[in-house]
Structure 1
Amino acid sequence: MNRRRFLATTSVALPTALSGCLELGNMKSDEESKTNSGSGWYQSRIDAANTGYLPDYSRSDITVSEEWTYSTGGRPTGGPLVDDDCVYGTNVEGGIYAVDAESGQGLWTKSLDAEIFQTPALSDDNLYVVSQAGKLYAIDSEQGEKTEEFDVGPNRFEERFIRSSTAPGVTIKNNIISLGGGNLQVIDSSDSEILMTRDSEDVVYSKPAITDDLIVVGQSDGMLQAIDQDAREAVWEKQVTDGSLEMPVIQDGRLFISEEPGASLYCLDLATGTEQWHVSFDTVAISPPAVTPDEVVVTLQPGENSGGAGGIRAFEPNTGDELWRNPTCHGYAAAPIVTEDRIYTAQGGKVIVYERNGGKEVSTTIPSPPNKGSLALTEMGIYAQTSVSHVLKLYR
C-alpha cells in the first residue's frame, strides 16, 4: 500500500458512492512527456503547448456514468489535475484539496488566506497555485504542506471571467514555470530563481504556451508576444486584434489563438508572428482551440441574433477551411479535448462526446450536480469539477 492509499484509508472525508464502473479504455503512455502519460493530467490543456490533443487515448465504449462525488467546500477554479492515483483541485475561496482517484476519498485539504482564480499545475512533487494576493505557492502533493512561496505581484484577473478553458493559469515545461494574470512571470523551478517579470497596469496576460525556446502569451488588449527563453526578450510582438486574446496553442510551427469577445480564430507563423489565416464568427463566445496536425476544433456559444452559429466546428490547420460543423449548442463555449477517435467537451453542465471524424454527437451525460470547467482524461476515467462545489469522477 503506497502512502496515498494509506492516507485514503484513514481519512474521515467520505465520498458519495454512485453507479458502478464501465469498461475502461486504453491509453499508451508517453515516457518523454509526463503531461501526456496515461496515468496523469498535470496541467490545463494537457501539455505546455496548450494543444488539448491526446492522440494515444482510445476506447470503444462511449457511455459515461458517474462513479463518485466529493465535496470540495467551495466554487471550483478551472479543471481538476490528476497525478497517478490522486486528483487535485482548487476553489475560489482559497481551498486546495487532494482526493484518492480510485475511491473518491479525501486525502488532504489546505486553505490559503486569499482567493484562487487561476488553474494550477503539477510538476514533480509540487502543486503550483496562484492566489489573488499575488503569491505563487508550491504545495507538496503528498502532504499538502507549503514548500515555497514566490511574490508574483497583483493579480488583476477578475472573478467574473473565471472559466477553466480561458482563465490565466500556470504552464510548466522542463524546469520553466510561467504564469499569466496581472503579471507575466517566468521562474526556474530547479533553483527557485525568478527569471523574468513583466508588469502592466491595465493588461491581463493569458495562460502562456511554452516550447523548448519560446514563451508565448496573449494579452487582454489584443497584443501577442513570443519571448525568447534565454534572452528574455520578445522575438516578435503583434497587435492581433482590439479584443482580449485567450491562451495560445502551438502545433507544428504554427500558433493558434482565439479572441473573446469578438469570437475570432487566428493562425500565425510561430517564428515570425505573420498571420496565415483567420475566421470570424457571429457568436457571443469562442473556446480556446484544440489543435492536432489534422484539425483545429473550437466550440461556439451563439448570440441572440446568430441563429445556428454555435456548436462545435473543425478547420484545416494550414488553410482555415472548414472541415465540418455540428450546430447543436449546449451552453457556453468550453475548450474541447481531441483524442484518437473522439472529441470530449464539458458544455452547459454536460459531458459531451463527439466522433472526431465529422463531429457527430455520440454521447451526452448530465451529471448531478452539473459540471463546470474542463475535463481531465486518464486511463482510470474522466474527471470534472461541478458548479456546486463537487468533483466528479466519470467512468467511461
Structure 2
Amino acid sequence: MSKPPQGVNSNSLPGEWAMFRHDLGRSGSTDSIGTLPQGKLKWVFSTGAPILSSPAVADGTVYVGSQDGKLYALDATTGAKRWEYKTGDWVESSPAVVNGVVYFGSNDGRLYALDAHSGEKLWDFKAKSVIKSSPAVADGVVYFGAGDWYVYALDAVTGEKLWDFETEGPVNSSPVVANGIVYIGVRK
C-alpha cells in the first residue's frame, strides 16, 4: 500500500497555495515575498460559467472549479489548460492539493480525488447532498462537510469512510485541523 498523503502546512514551498486559505489552520498567509507594488494582468482563462471557488496552486499548476461543473488544471505561468474534469453539477468547493492528488467537492454530492498531473479520477465518495465545503487533508485523512448535515473523514488514499458526524444543520463551511481537532461551522 502506498504511503498516505500528509497535510500541507505553513512550510509549503514558496509560491504554493495548495488549499483554501493556504494551510490546515486556514491562516491565509505565507512566508513568500509580499504583494507587488502594482498589479499587472498576466493571463485570463474563461470557463463556461462563473467561478465561485478559490484556486489552489501547486507544482506550477492552478486548480479551480467552475459552475460549469468542471475542475480545471491550468499552467500557472501561461494560463494554458492542462486538463479538465467534468462532474455532475457546479464545483463551488475550493480544491486541496496534497502529494499529487487534488481533492474537491461538487454540488452533485461527491468528493473527488484526482491525479493532479493527469486529471484521472482515483476515487470519489458520495454524500447525501451538495458539497460546497473545501476539504482539509491531514495525516492521510480528508475532512469536509456536506449539505446533508454531516462532517466526513475519509482515507485520503482509498476514499473509504473512516467516520461521519451529524451536526445541527447543513455544513457549507471549510474545516480547520489543529492539534488533532477538526473545527467546522454549521448553518443552523
Counterpart amino acid of residue 173 in structure 1: V
Cα offset, 1:50, TM superposition:
4.5
The TM-score with structure 2 as length reference comes to 0.80
Alignment of 1:221-240 (within 5 A): 221-240=148-167
Partner of 1:51: 26
Cα offset, 1:249, TM superposition:
0.8
Label 1:128 to 1:222 Cα distance change in 2 as closer, same or farther (>3 A). Answer: same
Q: 2:102 aligns with which of 177, 197, 211?
A: 177
Residues 222-261 of structure 1 deviation map (CA, whole Å, 9 limit, x = unaligned) = 101100123321111111223434111111111111112x
- In 1: Cα distance, 2:181 partner to 2:28 partner: 15
Q: 1:33 aligns with which of 3, 7, 12?
A: 12
Q: SS state of the match for residue 153, structure 2?
A: strand
Partner of 2:65: 130
Q: Going by fraction, where is strand more abundant, 1 or 2?
A: 1
Stretches (4+) displaced over 4 A? 39-42
Counterpart amino acid of residue 38 in structure 2: S
Which ranges of structure 1 fall in alignment gaps of 5 or more residues?
Answer: 1-29, 58-82, 88-100, 158-167, 263-396
The structure whose Rg is larger is: 1
The TM-score with structure 1 as length reference comes to 0.41
CA contact (8 A) 1:184 1:205 kept: no
Cα offset, 1:190, TM superposition:
4.0
> What is the number of residues matched between the two proteins?
178
Counterpart amino acid of residue 33 in structure 1: S
Label 1:133 to 1:219 Cα distance change in 2 as closer, same or farther (>3 A). Answer: same
* Percent identity of equivalent pairs: 26
Alignment of 1:139-218 (within 5 A): 139-155=74-90, 168-182=93-107, 183-199=110-126, 202-218=129-145
- In 1: Cα distance, 2:28 partner to 2:56 partner: 17
RMSD of aligned residue pairs (Cα, Å): 2.8
Cα offset, 1:202, TM superposition:
3.5
CA contact (8 A) 2:84 2:119 kept: no
CA contact (8 A) 1:44 1:50 kept: no
